[in-house]
């Protein structure tokens, strides 16, 4: 996806011709001050429709109804204004989409959600999770709450505190060590997960996870790298991500206790 093009100033052009609600090209009355190349958005002042400019020349190629706006016919003389919108920003940089924190210890499934307006704009997602549990266990991640058998491949390797290992699993979730620390404030695990192909174009979603882990009251320190894939039955966009914990490594979803203060953040990436 090309990066968005930003320029300064309040810029406006007029539509030379009338266009239907499905036409994907239009002729601007002026190009002065506008970016020299795509992509950028235009707002039809009269209708409120947002247009994405994807190609430029004597005519501009446009995506209609961008960002979930309603498509409408364009009249000759309609004012189309260059506007820095949330859709431009999320198309050009990483943006926080959701954040959840756990207020009290509990058997909990924490969920972060891709807002509907961002679902078609985010090609990739990034997750940040920090938290700990009351026992040595696993944190478990699902996409769209999919619990299908063998839907997730998960491979990991770790090193630290005098040991190392690797493993490959095929489960109903992705997982990583949770660790635990008692008493607080020691945090058991700090995870960054990058998920590719998050939109509906590709069936297979892949992830790369980086983890720092503390166990046994901060006395055992590990770093881990994990890779995985999720392959639903048909291409689908990722709309939500769930995290839970098992009880003492028993592999049962939502059977353990996440401690208060766990923080789950979701970012959208172009």
Helices then strands, each counted (H, E), the chain: 1, 18
Q: Distance between CA 152 and CA 241 in Å, rounded?
A: 13
Which CATH fold topology does 94-269 show? Jelly Rolls (2.60.120)
Residue 67: CB partners within 8 Å, gap ≥ 6? 41, 50, 85, 86, 87, 117, 121
Instruction: Give the side-chain half-sphere CA count within 13 A for 47.
Output: 23
Instruction: Give the tens place of pLDDT for each residue, 49-106.
Output: 999 999 999 999 999 999 889 999 999 999 999 978 777 777 677 788 999 999 999 8
Three-state secondary-structure class, residue 92: helix
More confident residue, 209 or 183: 209
Q: Report, as an integer, the average pLDDT of 154-183.
A: 74
CA separation, residue 141 to residues 39, 168, 170 (Å): 34, 16, 13
Interatomic CA distance for residues 119 and 199, integer angstroms: 7
Output the pLDDT for position 154.
Answer: 86
Check: CB of residue 209 under 8 Å from CB of residue 225. yes
State the pLDDT at residue 136: 82
Is the pLDDT score of 270 beyond 80? no
Per-residue model confidence (pLDDT) at position 185 = 54
In the chain, domain spans: 12-90, 94-269
Q: What is the pLDDT of residues 94-151, one digit of tens each?
A: 788 999 999 999 888 999 999 887 877 788 999 999 998 888 889 999 999 999 998 9
- pLDDT for residue 158: 64
**Residue range 226-242: mean pLDDT, rounded:** 94
Percent of the chain past pLDDT 70, that is, above it, reads 89
Measured in degrees and rounded to the nearest 5, phi and psi for residue 90 equal: -70, -25
Give the confidence band of 157 by pLDDT, cuts at 50, 70, 90: confident
Average pLDDT, the chain: 88
Residue 164 has pLDDT above 90, yes or no: no
Say if residue 246's pLDDT is above 60. yes
């Amino acid at each position: 996806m090309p990066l968005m093009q930003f320029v300064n100033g309040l810029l406006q052009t007029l539509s030379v011709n009338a266009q239907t609600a499905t036409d994907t090209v239009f002729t601007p009355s002026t190009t002065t001050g506008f970016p020299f190349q795509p992509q950028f958005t235009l707002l039809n002042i009269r209708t409120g429709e947002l247009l994405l400019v994807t190609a430029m020349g004597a005519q501009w190629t446009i995506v209609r109804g961008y960002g979930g706006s309603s498509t409408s016919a364009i009249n000759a003389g309609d004012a189309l204004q260059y506007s820095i919108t949330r859709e431009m920003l999320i198309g050009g940089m990483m943006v926080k989409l959701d954040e959840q924190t756990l207020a009290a210890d509990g058997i909990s499934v924490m969920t972060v959600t891709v807002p509907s307006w961002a679902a078609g704009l985010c090609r990739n997602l990034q997750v940040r999770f920090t938290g700990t549990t009351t026992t040595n266990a696993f944190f478990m991640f699902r996409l769209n709450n999919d619990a299908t058998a063998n839907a997730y491949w998960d491979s990991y390797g770790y090193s630290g505190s005098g040991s190392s290992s690797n493993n490959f699993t095929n489960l109903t979730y992705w997982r990583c060590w949770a660790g635990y620390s008692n008493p607080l404030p020691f945090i058991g695990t700090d995870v960054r997960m990058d998920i590719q192909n998050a939109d509906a174009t590709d069936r297979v979603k892949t992830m790369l996870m980086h983890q720092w882990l503390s166990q046994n009251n901060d006395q055992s320190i590990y770093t881990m790298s994990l890779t995985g894939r999720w392959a639903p039955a048909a291409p689908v966009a990722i709309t939500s991500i769930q995290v839970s914990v098992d009880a003492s490594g028993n592999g049962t979803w939502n059977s353990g206790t996440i401690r208060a203060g766990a923080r789950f953040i979701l970012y959208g990436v172009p």
